[in-house]
C-alpha cells in the first residue's frame, strides 16, 4: 500500500498532551490519526459528537435573533441593516 504524509498545525501544548495520551494508550499520534481517518471512512461521519462553543455568536439567544431577522428578509420585511445592532437604537 502506498504511503503519504499529512501535515497538521496545532497548538504546541495540545500536541504535547495528545502525544502523552497516545503514549499512555500504547500508540503514537500517527496511529491515532490513522484510526480516526479509518473510523470516519467506515462510519461516513465524524465518529464523535461535536458540541457548541462558549462563543456568544452561537448562543441560543443570538441564533434565535439571527433566524428571526433572516425570516423577515425572506418574506421581504426588514432590511439587511436590521441584522446589525447599532448604538443608535
The residue-averaged pLDDT of 39-43 equals: 95
Q: What angle do CA 35, 37, 40 make, to 5 degrees?
A: 110
- 7: region left, alpha or beta (phi > 0 left; psi from -120 to 50 alpha): beta
Give residues with Cβ within 8 angstroms of 47, minimum separation 6: 36, 39, 40
pLDDT higher than threshold 90 for residue 5:
yes
Length of the chain: 89
Average pLDDT, the chain: 84
pTM greater than 0.75 (yes/no)? no
pLDDT higher than threshold 60 for residue 1:
yes
- The predicted pLDDT at position 13 comes to 93
Q: How far is CA 82 from CA 56, 65, 66, in A?
A: 19, 10, 10
- The predicted pLDDT at position 4 comes to 95
**CA–CA separation, 69 and 60 (whole Å):** 14
- The predicted pLDDT at position 70 comes to 83
Amino acid at each position: 500500500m502506498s504511503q503519504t504524509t499529512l501535515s497538521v498545525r496545532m497548538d504546541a501544548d495540545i500536541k504535547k498532551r495528545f502525544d502523552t495520551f497516545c503514549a499512555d494508550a500504547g500508540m503514537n499520534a500517527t496511529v491515532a490519526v490513522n484510526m480516526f481517518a479509518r473510523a470516519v471512512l467506515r462510519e461516513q461521519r465524524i465518529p464523535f459528537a461535536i458540541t457548541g462553543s462558549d462563543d456568544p455568536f452561537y448562543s441560543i439567544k443570538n441564533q434565535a435573533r439571527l433566524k428571526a431577522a433572516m425570516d423577515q428578509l425572506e418574506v421581504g420585511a426588514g432590511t439587511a441593516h436590521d441584522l446589525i445592532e447599532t448604538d443608535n437604537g
